[in-house]
Structure 1
């Protein structure tokens, strides 16, 4: 027995997964270093890029951000708790509602 409603078909996507190969990129940078002219701007850009990759790869940035985030959440919770206590102590008629 056929159904009265048409069932939808599965969607097919043309997704091609891409992978990041850090070693390959470093090798390409090394090759490009000698293929192109050695102008100061490119050298400066390359040094900055390597410094950033080293800094972010160590995980210090993530640890520092997590620590700041946790401290901020704790501070906000503490302030809200203090405000709640002040409101309930200052207005005792609110607790009778």
Structure 2
């Protein structure tokens, strides 16, 4: 999931190179949605599992940081909502 990958990126010193094909795909999704900035470079495949591209994640954008903040607030909101829901009495 791209947003979980975004959360991982916030804990890694950037820039970082990504070579696994699944992670390169996640990077491309995050770039397309404007949550990160990255460069893509083609590589020469050397085997059946070789990556066809390498991505270098340069930074998390302001939009990406805002999305991280929203995800961080979601558990707090859910706990608060559940607490209020438990306090309601059905008549």
> Does TM, normalized by the shorter one, top 0.5?
no
- Structure with bigger strand share is 2
TM-score by structure 2 length? 0.33
**Larger relative contact order (Cα-Cα within 8 Å, sequence gap ≥ 6):** 2
Larger radius of gyration: 1
Specify which structure has the higher proportion of helix: 1
TM-score after normalising by structure 1: 0.32
